[in-house]
Amino acid sequence: MNLTITKTFRFEAAHSLPHLPKTHQCHRCHGHSYEVLVAVTGPNLKCGWVQDYSEISAAVSPTIARLDHQNLNEILPCYTTAENLAIWIVGEIQHLLPMLSRVEVRETPTSNVILDVRSGLMGKFQTPV
């Protein structure tokens, strides 16, 4: 039997989507209080857990620290949408968390993206042409 455990991380960052029309609110530089939920899925090990939460923190925290209080347009090699941010985060942490199953990026309390890592259908960044 597999179980999924999650750990949530938070950071503040600015970004803009300059490829959108100038009249679109996301065209201008603005900020979000992001929430990133990282899930790992695996068997309940003999020690009683799927993975130590501190191992998840150790794997993810350096990436979150790179993003915190930054302009995402200066870090990501793509449009700074929540979708691309999720893909980028997976690329940064997947090698550190072999049981990584899902990354969720919440841009606002009502808007989020869920990337199912195990689906094998990881998208590519949408970048400027």
Convert the pLDDT of each residue in 14-30 to its tens digit: 999 988 889 998 888 99
DSSP string, 25-49: TTTS-EEEEEEEEEEEEEE--TTSS
Radius of gyration of the chain (CA): 16
Q: Is 69 a catalytic residue?
A: yes
Higher confidence at residue 118 or residue 114?
Answer: 114
The model's pTM is 0.91
- CB of 67 closer than 8 Å to CB of 31: no
Q: Is 35 a catalytic residue?
A: no
pLDDT band of 129, cuts 50, 70, 90: very low
Per annotation, catalytic residue among 19, 27, 92, 107: 107
Convert the pLDDT of each residue in 54-113 to its tens digit: 999 999 999 999 999 999 999 999 899 999 999 999 999 999 999 999 999 999 999 999
Per annotation, catalytic residue among 26, 27, 35, 92: 26
Domains of the chain: 2-43+53-119 (3.30.479.10)
Please give the pLDDT value at position 123: 61
Q: Among candidates 59, 73, 43, 52, which has minimal Cα distance to 103?
A: 59
